[in-house]
Amino acid sequence: MGTLVIDIGNTRLAWRLREPSGVVSGGSASHAAIADALSSLPLVEAIAISSVQRSHEGELQQWIEATHQPPPIWIRSGADLPSTVKTDEPHHTGADRALCAFAWGCADEQGPAIIIDAGTAVTVDAVNPSGQLLGGWIAPGWSALQRGLQQAAPALPQMSEEQSEEASVPWSGETSRAIRGGIESMFVEGVLGLRRRVESELGNDATTVITGGDADRLLSALQPARSQPDMVLDGLERILESGTHG
């Protein structure tokens, strides 16, 4: 039997199944489709789950019990990884942030990292070489910026699906493209500014690591940077390997 790691994010659920043969599979689904998404998964030896959305844990627990899966390891906040999280309030530090830092520490890297997780919220975190989360910043992600503007100004047209004009263009003459360009600029430039603040203390040798569903929107603008998709799942797998939790 293999291992299963699951990340209950703010808007979606993601998972990774690792079979004894080494074959790895995975996927993601909306919260509304949790039961259907997991229905075909086999019995496994061990499960670890990260959760920042407690309201969906019950459905997942029902699936675990109904399919006779082993009791999972739950990571709900930084308090579940006390040796890794050095923020002022580990209980209020997201499990996703803690697990990204833990994954960095387990990778045997030689320096500190600025870990940027671009999801519903975008976090920009300072992590030391041993994988301890020192602190960071939290801001609205791409989708949150878009939804927030739509809710605050519903009379505006829908944002253009086309890429905005080159940055050298001083303005857009079309409203829907102007909205997209404005959101793009606030998102990218905001993250760049937060990275500079973290880098001012960690030093220029800190590696920028970008993860999360909107990582591709940032990667080219934040070079030099490294892309590491599904870093939360990486951290959960390291939890299963090391037995480090609680």
Catalytic residues: 96
Whether cis (ω within 30° of 0) applies to the bond prior to 140 is no
* Ranges of H-type helices in the chain: 34-38, 57-66, 95-106, 142-152, 175-202, 216-219, 231-242
Give the Cα separation of 186 and 190 in Å (integer).
Answer: 5
Q: Decide: helix, strand or coil at residue 162.
A: coil
The count of residues in the chain is 246
Q: Decide: helix, strand or coil at residue 90.
A: helix
Cα 17 → chain centroid: 18
Q: DSSP code of 105?
A: H
User: End-to-end CA distance of the chain, in Å?
Assistant: 25
Strand 46-51 to 3-8 pairing:
parallel
Strand 121-127 to 113-118 pairing:
antiparallel
Residues 190 and 182: beta-carbon distance below 8 Å: no
Give the Cα separation of 81 and 236 in Å (integer).
Answer: 11
